[in-house]
Structure 1
Amino acid sequence: MLSGKTIMITGASSGIGAATARVLAAEGAAVVLMARRGELLRKVAADITAAGGRAAVSEGDVASSADVERAVGTALDTFGSLDAAFNNAGWGTAGTPLHLMDDADFDRTIDVNVRGVWNCLRHQVRVMMAQPSGGSIVNTGSTAGSFATGAGAPYVAAKHAVTGLTKAAAAEYGGDNIRVNVLMVGSTRTELLVEAMRRVPQMEENAVSRAIQKRLADPEEIAQAVAWLCSDRSSFVTGAVVPVDGGCSAV
């Protein structure tokens, strides 16, 4: 269980982030929700508090260091600590060949997925280093962080970078009792993927064909893995790439 822990979640307005917020709160954590879409964030927070949980909202963009710092401050000011974090915000394009992709699409993909994780790590680590208990950080990676998935070259490159950031941070801060892990997430029925499948109809077949389980994940299935990694149940796990991919990486 996660009673007594404060956990920051980015990309919390929908999909994996929102599902994780609900799961963590149900296990007793106080959750700090960050995303750009404030109205949706507030709805998720309201659902959590109506169910008896504790939630605070910090609207912002992970590509902005100042926005991330404010979210970390919200955790401290509202709940008094930051014990774990789920750096989940992501963005990408699919179906556009590399040579036809706009600079703006490349820049946004790198900004959200790489700079966003970078911003989160440095602000979260500073707080966790000052706590005797340290902390646990979980980054959202992807099967695209291990091989080309057809999700678009910038996204594949970005998720490879997230894996690298995770391993480097785990090595640097293990002595401070901070664990850092990355989830290798398989195709999950999120708003981002559903929109991509609408634009590229063959994407769903491609997404499930490699997986052993031959289906998309539900966001809550990813959330359960996050809950384990944020808890003391995973106390000897750090620097790990944890597959939650329906067996996609096994074949």
Structure 2
Amino acid sequence: MSNNLKDKVIVVTGAGGGMGLATCKMLAARGAKVSMSGLREAPLQELAAEIEAAGGQAMAQRVDVRDDGQVNDWIAKTVARFGKLDGAVNLAGAIPQTFFADTVEKHGNDTWEFIVQTNLTGTMYCMRAQLQNMNDNGSIITCGSTASVMGEPGCSAYVAAKHGVVGLTKSAAKEVGPTRNIRVNCIAPGMIDTAMYQKVKEANGGEHVPFKQLIKREGRPDEVASLVCWLLCDESRYITGTVQLIDGGWTA
């Protein structure tokens, strides 16, 4: 276990469940000061209380990443309590209820705008505020998907947004690497056993999406959290501008 996250100030979006919750717990266990955001306040406050009861330092705030005012307020309050940021993990995201049915030909405007605003524009709002309040030598992680590196029929808004996250990541890495030594990387999970993946199965008629990965199981949130912690710590300090697939070999 790497211990060089001790006393680092790390912000995490999408912290109320799944990969975000697992990441926050792992960061706190490794000594980081964790500021968490998400749409559901109750689980965030419960997690913050759990971390503090175990001797860690945490704060939580309800944030809709589509609202840059809410994002900016959260980051300002984090800095006021813990100091400038050392790292950021942008896991907030959404899938449409019409997943697998959103062809380009039939796509509705409202669904398109919601998915792009949440997954791509929201990520930009968060990164902008984070970079404005981050120490040099920091690390930012965005969340793509296997949909960041390949197309999927019926998922056009989600695929477009997740491809956009990769472009945003690579552009930011080239902007802040040479000037501030801040690293920016994108994780690209495949089928991870989370509430969001349960929605994907519901959209697939309640059935498992056929296993295309080489490791014939769903990934676990803690496996994603381990990758995130590695990308935040100094053990990965020569890695930036990359897409880190964690998909069981789906895209091999």
- Which bracket does the TM-score occupy, shorter chain normalised? over 0.9
Maintained 8 Å contact 1:58/1:74 = no
Q: Structure 2 residue aligned with 1:124, among 124, 130, 134?
A: 130
Residue 95 of structure 2 contacts residue 115 of structure 2 at CA under 8 Å; is this kept in 1?
A: yes
Normalized per residue, the structure richer in helix is 1
Match of 1:242 in 2: 244
Is there any run of 5+ residues in structure 1 with no aligned partner, and where? Answer: none
| In structure 1, distance between residues paired with 2:45 and 2:192 | 23
How far does residue 205 in structure 1 lie from its aligned partner after superposition?
3.2
- Letter aligned with residue 75 of structure 1: T
What is residue 212 of structure 1 aligned with on the other side? Answer: 214
Q: What is the RMSD of the two structures over their aligned residues, measured on CA atoms?
A: 1.4
Equivalent residue for 1:22, pick from 22, 25, 39? 25
Residue 183 (structure 1) aligned with residue 187 (structure 2): yes
Structure 1 residue 112, shift from structure 2 partner: 0.6
| Partners of 2:238 and 2:232 in 1: CA distance | 12
TM-score relative to the length of structure 2: 0.93
1:216–1:70 distance in 2 versus 1, CA, 3 Å: same
- Partner Cα separation in structure 2 for residue 191 and residue 122 of structure 1: 28
Which amino acid in structure 2 is aligned with residue 72 of structure 1? I
Report the Cα distance in structure 2 between the residues aligned to 1:148 and 1:186, rounded to whole angstroms. Answer: 13
Other structure's SS at 1:84 match = strand
Unaligned runs of 5+ in 2: none
Which residue in the other structure is 1:112 paired with? Answer: 118
What is the aligned partner in structure 2 of residue 198 from structure 1?
202
Aligned residues: 245
Specify which of 61, 64, 67 is matched with residue 61 of structure 1: 64
The answer to whether the aligner puts 1:97 opposite 2:120 as a matched pair is no
Indicate conservation of the 8 Å contact 1:137/1:180, yes or no. yes
Identical aligned pairs, as a percentage? 36
Does residue 148 (structure 1) correspond to residue 160 (structure 2)? The answer is no
TM-score (norm 1): 0.93
Whole-angstrom CA distance in 2 between matches of 1:234 and 1:120: 22
2:177 aligned residue (165, 170, 174): 174
- What is the rounded CA distance, in whole Å, between the counterparts of 1:46 and 1:151 in structure 2? 41
Structure 2 distance, partners of 1:194, 1:7, is: 28
SS at match of 1:205: coil
Match of 1:39 among 12, 31, 42: 42
CA distance in 2, matches of 1:202, 1:18: 25
Q: Is the 8 A contact 1:144 1:151 kept in 2?
A: no
Q: Which residue of 1 aligns with 2:168?
A: 165
Which stretches of structure 1, 4 residues or longer, exceed 3 Å deviation after superposition?
Answer: none
Q: CA deviation at 1:46?
A: 1.6
Distance 2:163 2:218 in 1: 21
Distance 1:151 1:218, change over 3 A: farther
Q: Output the CA distance in 1 between the equivalents of 2:47 and 2:201.
A: 25
Equivalent residues in 2 for 1:1-12 (5 A)?
Answer: 1=3, 2-12=5-15
Task: After superposition, give the CA deviation of every residue in 1:178-213 in whole Å (9 maximum; x if it has no partner).
Answer: 10000011111111110221231375232x2x2110
What is the Cα deviation at residue 47 of structure 1?
1.8
Deviations 1:147-206 (A, max 9, x none): 124571100000000000000000011021110000011111111110221231375232
